Structure 1
Amino acid sequence: MAKDTYFPICLRMKGRLCTVVGGGSVAERKIRSLMDTDARIKVIAPRWTPAITKWIDEGLVLGESRVYRDGDLKGSFIVYASTDVPSVNEQVCLEAEQEGMMFNRSDQADTGDWVDPAVVRRGQLAITVSTGGASPGMAKAIQCELQQEYGPEFEEALDWLAGLRVTLKETLADPRDRQRILKELWTEDTIDQIRNGELHKLKQKIAVALEPGGK
């Protein structure tokens, strides 16, 4: 039987409405993953987990304490059908499909538009792992390895690199000069230097390159 092939992309979610139907532990995980994206999140369920309740109380999530009704998805960019009632999930997905919205169904992942990858986040760095739903256990195991390989030092490094790009644009008018310096920054040792807490060496390298007559 032919397997689905998924297209990996990073969506810009800021300000977009994401509706989660369901208030249990699965819905909680979906909401938690969305909170890193600055999306507008709405959850619809008669009951919520303590964590979801806390997020609603803090104004991080819009909560509607009731059962799902047809029309609840209006204006949504993406939809999660995450209840423990298959017939409700079916209704949610049907409405989403009719309205041209992308949806994810927790109890039947292969019927939705996407599967959620395992994610390692370090600030602006996001490393995703997906098996296309074939083996969530494998994705989780690889995620755990990546969490060890890419620690918080990569968040610090990426923050510096983002600032460096701004600095180079302000100090070097020729884009070829900017590209040359950034290219020279990345060698086979750069990742290991970041991992070993040697970001100062990279900063020193850039400082020398920016000196008059520096290479």
Structure 2
Amino acid sequence: MRYFPIFLDLNNKPVLVVGGGDVACRKIDMLLRAGAKVTVVSPKVHSHLQTLAQDEILLWIKSFYQSDMLTDYVQVWATTDNPELNHRVHDDAKQKNIMVNVVDDKPYCDFITPSMINRGRIQIAVSSGGASPVLIRYLREKLESILPQNLALLADFGASKRNSIKSELASVDERRKFWERFFSSSKITTIDDRSELEVLYQSILSNTEEVTGSQIWIEFGQDVEMLPIKSLRLMQESELVLYPASCPFEFVDLCRRDAEREQFQDTNHLASLIKQAQSDKQRVCIFIEKDSTSIELKLLMGNQLLIKIAE
């Protein structure tokens, strides 16, 4: 992983943009949406930026860049078409320990900006580390086509219930499983009104289910893309992931990120881990090698669901 993914809080924070052309427009629009206090330094700016300055949405310093302008900013963007000037801005920023991005010049960037999908509170960032912008654009288009348009509504509704749900369901585990049932409802993607969400919320809340454990056994091979779609959903619901040393990391990595993960040594070790998980009422995902024929393993598996990897 070349870059560490992070979302910065720029709300009401001072950001300097050197340059006022088309590139600056794109970056500034994004910065303003994040609530940044933007200052633009350039003798001339795009008409769009001129309008924003007239409306006092940003500050325009109608001048050439000077090193002494670089004060009290948390972030600096160099967007001009003059590499020498951009690099001077970079050097000045580095001397003052200010994060800097020289647009389309990776060696002079402390950070890069991903391709973004915005649905209100929901933000999805996709990046190739600058290696393949066209591929990232393709991925973004694919994601846009499958993501429901009511994500912003769902996020706002979930946020509004963060406190009240605690009085209804005491434990974190109960609340997590409630929200899983809520968001996995077949009705959820078609609702576009908060009152309908409230009806669904109360309906599921009144039919609370006892917190119980479960097991899902999944065969693995060498190609993670051969996993059935059903297994991916169940892997995301699991709270404990058990796997042998021979299981490729790509399979384990597709499981829920906050799930416990433990490597088992043999069938006896696996049996003890499963027994403990049953006692803790955990949902467990167990990876086993394709076409496992061990009698002990089959006895341990019993009538539990086994998902076979595609041929």
Partner Cα distance (1:96, 1:26) in 2: 20
How do 1:1-215 and structure 2 match up within 5 A? Answer: 5-169=2-166, 171-172=167-168, 175-176=170-171, 179-187=173-181, 190=184, 193-197=187-191, 203-211=198-206, 215=209
Secondary structure, in 3 states, of the residue corresponding to 1:165?
coil
Unaligned runs of 5+ in 2: 210-311
Q: TM-score, normalising length from structure 2?
A: 0.61
Q: What amino acid is the match of 2:178?
A: E
C-alpha deviation, 1:84, in angstroms: 0.8
- Number of residues of Structure 1 aligned to a counterpart in Structure 2: 208
Unaligned runs of 5+ in 1: none
Q: TM-score, normalising length from structure 1?
A: 0.86
C-alpha deviation, 1:31, in angstroms: 0.5
For structure 1, which segment, 36-45 or 142-151, has the greater mean C-alpha deviation from structure 2 after superposition? 142-151
CA deviations on 1:78-118 (whole Å, 9 max, x unpaired) are: 11010111111011001000000111111412321111100
Secondary structure, in 3 states, of the residue corresponding to 2:145?
helix
Partner Cα distance (1:191, 1:30) in 2: 38
Secondary structure, in 3 states, of the residue corresponding to 1:119?
strand
Identity of aligned residues (%): 26
C-alpha deviation, 1:126, in angstroms: 0.4
Secondary structure, in 3 states, of the residue corresponding to 1:71?
helix
Q: What amino acid is the match of 1:56?
A: A
Preserved contact between residue 182 and residue 201 of structure 2 (Cα < 8 Å): no
